[in-house]
Structure 1
Amino acid sequence: MTLACRSEQAKGDDSLSRSIFTRKTIEDLRLSQVSADGEPALRRALGPFSLMALGVGAIIGAGIFVLTGAAAARYAGPAVVLSFALAGCACAIVALCYAELATLIPVSGSTYSYVYATLGEVFAWIIGWDLVLEYAMGAATVAVGWSGYLVSMLASFGLSPPPQFTASYGGATAAPGVVGLFNVPAAAIVLAVTGLLVMGTRESARVNNLMVGFKLAVVGVVIVVGGLHIAPANWTPFVPANTGDFGHFGYSGVLRAAAVVFFAYIGFDAVSTAAQEARDPQRDLPIGLIGSLTICTALYIAVSAVLTGVVPFAALDRPDPISAVIDAVGMPALAVAVKIAALAGLTTVILVLLFGQARILFAMARDGLLPDVFARLHPRFHTPAASQAVIGLAVAATAGLLPIDLLGEMVSIGTLAAFALVCVAVMHLRRRHPELPRPFRVPLEPALPILGVLACLILMAGLPWQTWARLVVWLAIGMAIYLTTGRQGARRHAKAAAN
Structure 2
Amino acid sequence: MPTVPSSPRRLALRKSIQQIESESLTHGLRRTLGPVQLMMLGIGSTIGAGIYVMTGTAAANYAGPAILLSFLVAGLACLFTAFSYGELASTMPVSGSAYSYAYVSMGERAAWAVGWLLLLEYGVSCAGVAAGFSGYATSLLQDLGVTVPSFLHASLVQTLPTAHGASLLVAPRIDLVGASSVLLVTFFLVLGVEESARINTFIVFIKVGVLMLFLAVGIHYVHPSYLVPFIPPREGGFHYGVPGIFRAASVIFFAYVGFETVSTASAEARNPRRDVPLGIIGSLLVCTLVYICVAAVLIGIVPYRKLGVADPLAIAVDTIGQPWLAILIKIGAVTGLCSVIMGLLYGQTRIFFTIARDGLLPPMFCRLHPKFCTPWIGTIVLGLVVAVATATLPIDIISDLVSLGTATAFGIVCFTVIWQRNTRPDLPRPFSVPLGGVRIGGVWIGVSPALGILFCVIMMVPLFVDMIRALWNGNPLPAILLGSYVVLGVLGYVFYGRSHSLLGRENAAVRSLS
**CA apart distance, 1:495:** 7.0
Aligned twin of 1:31: 22
Q: What CA deviation, in whole Å up to 9, does each residue of 1:307-335 have, x standing for no partner?
A: 11222222222221112321232211111
**Partner amino acid, structure 2, of 1:192:** L
Residue pair 2:4, 2:499 contacting (<8 A) in 1 also? no
For residues 66-465 of structure 1, the aligned pairs below 5 Å read 66-171=53-158, 179-243=171-235, 245-444=236-435, 445=437, 446-463=446-463, 464-465=467-468
For residues 473-484 of structure 1, the aligned pairs below 5 Å read 473-484=484-495
The runs of 4+ residues in structure 1 deviating greater than 4 Å are 495-499
Aligned twin of 1:63: 50
Residue pair 1:112, 1:360 contacting (<8 A) in 2 also? yes
Overall identity of the aligned pairs, in %: 46
Higher mean C-alpha displacement, 469-478 vs 385-394: 469-478
**CA apart distance, 1:240:** 1.8
Aligned length: 481
Q: What CA deviation, in whole Å up to 9, does each residue of 1:160-200 have, x standing for no partner?
A: 22222222224389xxx993432111111111100100000
Aligned twin of 2:481: 470
Residue pair 2:183, 2:383 contacting (<8 A) in 1 also? yes
Which residue, 5, 30, 33 being the options, matches 1:14? Answer: 5
SS of the residue corresponding to residue 171 of structure 1 reads: strand
Q: What CA deviation, in whole Å up to 9, does each residue of 1:233-277 have, x standing for no partner?
A: 22222122222x122222222122111111111221111000011
TM-score by length of 2: 0.89
SS of the residue corresponding to residue 477 of structure 1 reads: helix
**CA apart distance, 1:497:** 9.6
- Cα distance in 2 for partners of 1:261, 1:386 equals 33
SS of the residue corresponding to residue 148 of structure 2 reads: coil
Residue pair 2:4, 2:505 contacting (<8 A) in 1 also? no
- Cα distance in 1 for partners of 2:451, 2:93 equals 25
Q: What stretches of structure 2 of length at least 5 have no aligned partner?
A: 161-168, 438-445, 469-475
SS of the residue corresponding to residue 45 of structure 1 reads: coil
**CA apart distance, 1:88:** 0.5
Aligned twin of 1:6: none
- Cα distance in 2 for partners of 1:376, 1:217 equals 38
Higher mean C-alpha displacement, 463-472 vs 382-391: 463-472
- Cα distance in 2 for partners of 1:308, 1:476 equals 42
Q: What CA deviation, in whole Å up to 9, does each residue of 1:93-142 have, x standing for no partner?
A: 11111111111110010001000011001111111111100111111111
Aligned twin of 1:8: none
Aligned twin of 1:3: none
Residue pair 2:50, 2:256 contacting (<8 A) in 1 also? yes
Specify whether residues 457 and 335 from structure 1 end up closer, same or farther in structure 2 by C-alpha distance, changes over 3 A only: same
Higher mean C-alpha displacement, 488-497 vs 387-396: 488-497
Higher mean C-alpha displacement, 358-367 vs 468-477: 468-477
- Cα distance in 1 for partners of 2:304, 2:220 equals 18
Specify whether residues 252 and 409 from structure 1 end up closer, same or farther in structure 2 by C-alpha distance, changes over 3 A only: closer
TM-score by length of 1: 0.92
Specify whether residues 484 and 336 from structure 1 end up closer, same or farther in structure 2 by C-alpha distance, changes over 3 A only: same
Residue pair 1:52, 1:291 contacting (<8 A) in 2 also? yes
Residue pair 1:367, 1:493 contacting (<8 A) in 2 also? no
Residue pair 2:246, 2:462 contacting (<8 A) in 1 also? no
